[in-house]
Amino acid sequence: MTAQPRHTLFSPSRVLAIASNTFLELVRAKVFVLLTVFALVIIAGSFFLERLSFLQQFQMLKDAALGAMSIFTWLLSILATAMLLPKDIEDRTLYTILAKPVPRFEYLIGKLLGVLQLLLVSTLIMSFAFGAVLFFRQQWAIAEAIQSAGGAKAAAETVAAITKEIKASTFSGSLIPAIVAIYLKAALCASLTLLISTFSSSMIFTVMVSFACSLIGYIQPVAREYWINGPEQASALTKVMFMFIALLFPDLQLFNLVDDVAAGNAVSTALFLKTAGIGVIYVFVYLFLGYWFFSEKEL
């Protein structure tokens, strides 16, 4: 007689099973089609800008690609997460899972991990596509510049200088933290959407509130500054309103490194780690609050 496996309070394998199913469900929902649009944006953008100098072309290519990555991961995080709970309720999958000895927090963690996996794969594919197009344009620009400098007759020193200058204006180490920050922002938005979906009554409500919360998150630092250091003559009501915005919403501008990194700014490791740290804390807090509401939700 074989012994029954002991039921544990928390099982990583159960969580991973839910996560991988969630990921597969999302892949089947053809969310990756969005990535084709991204590829078209950067490839079209790289050719559209041919009349500009190569430095300007690289700059705009980086701005457009990083901006598109930022908006696509943001959209994906909200839309993919918002459909999870309503879809599971509609398909009755949720009841099948929770009827088994699967605690609700495991279910939520699994769902979030599935979305985070999807976001990670999407971010990696977009980064790879962006890197490939940038590399292709870089090689093209180097070949063109060498040709203008005299082709095969150009002095080795000139060729080296051209190559160095063009390479310096394409890839920089700061692009990596900027892309990681894009992913963290998307992860934060996903956990916030999951939190909202635990008490929302419909998918459309979840999507609308999540978009609104994200937009408020972008102006949260302005509200915070106004509340803390604003003019004394500001009305008490205004200050209270800004206080609530500062306390309830995340500062999404902290994760918006792309604009400045694309302009050539470098972010220090310590500062980036602090940003990543607050991002991870946000994800955990929103997940905990999501469980707080979901644990007592009548299904």
Partner 1 sequence: MKRVVTGLVILLAFGAAKLRFEQSLDAEYKAEFFRGAKIDLSVREQVGQVGFIAALSGFRAVIADGLYLTAFNAFANMQWGRMVLLFNNVTTLQPRMIQYWNEAAWHMAYNAATAAREDPFQPKESLRIKAEREYWKLGRDFLERGIRNNPDHYQLYDTLGTLLRDKFKDHCAAAEAFAKAAECKDALGYEKRFAAYEMAECPGKEREAYELLLKYYNLGEGERLPTLLKYLGRLQEALHIPQNQRVYIQPEKHH
Q: Give the number of C-alpha atoms closer than 13 A to the C-alpha of residue 292, restricted to the C-beta side.
A: 8
Alpha carbons 28 and 56: distance in angstroms, whole number: 39
Please say which residue, 215 or 299, places its beta carbon nearer to partner 1. Answer: 215
| Residues lying near partner 1 in the complex (CB under 8 A) | 52, 55-56, 59-60, 63-64, 66-67, 70-71, 199, 214-215, 218-219, 221, 224, 228, 246-248, 251-254, 256-260, 262-265, 267-268, 271, 274-275, 278, 281, 285, 288-289, 292-293, 296
Is residue 181 within 8 A of residue 257, CB to CB? The reply is yes
Is residue 246 within 8 A of residue 220, CB to CB? The reply is yes
Q: Locate tokens 């997940």: which residue?
A: 287
CB of 77 to partner 1, least distance (A): 14
User: Which residue spans within 136-236 are E strands per DSSP?
Assistant: none
Alpha carbons 72 and 119: distance in angstroms, whole number: 10
Q: Give the number of C-alpha atoms closer than 13 A to the C-alpha of residue 122, restricted to the C-beta side.
A: 34
Please say which residue, 14 or 185, places its beta carbon nearer to partner 1. Answer: 185
CB of 151 to partner 1, least distance (A): 27
Please say which residue, 150 or 277, places its beta carbon nearer to partner 1. Answer: 277
CB of 81 to partner 1, least distance (A): 18
CB of 139 to partner 1, least distance (A): 22
3 state DSSP class of 249: coil
Please say which residue, 109 or 192, places its beta carbon nearer to partner 1. Answer: 192
Alpha carbons 220 and 224: distance in angstroms, whole number: 6
CB of 247 to partner 1, least distance (A): 3
CB of 135 to partner 1, least distance (A): 20
Alpha carbons 237 and 264: distance in angstroms, whole number: 41
Please say which residue, 22 or 198, places its beta carbon nearer to partner 1. Answer: 198
Joined together, the tokens standing for residue 281 give 């804390």
User: Which residue spans within 174-231 are E strands per DSSP?
Assistant: none
Please say which residue, 8 or 295, places its beta carbon nearer to partner 1. Answer: 295
Is residue 110 within 8 A of residue 22, CB to CB? The reply is yes
CB of 91 to partner 1, least distance (A): 27
Please say which residue, 158 or 253, places its beta carbon nearer to partner 1. Answer: 253
Q: Give the number of C-alpha atoms closer than 13 A to the C-alpha of residue 146, restricted to the C-beta side.
A: 19
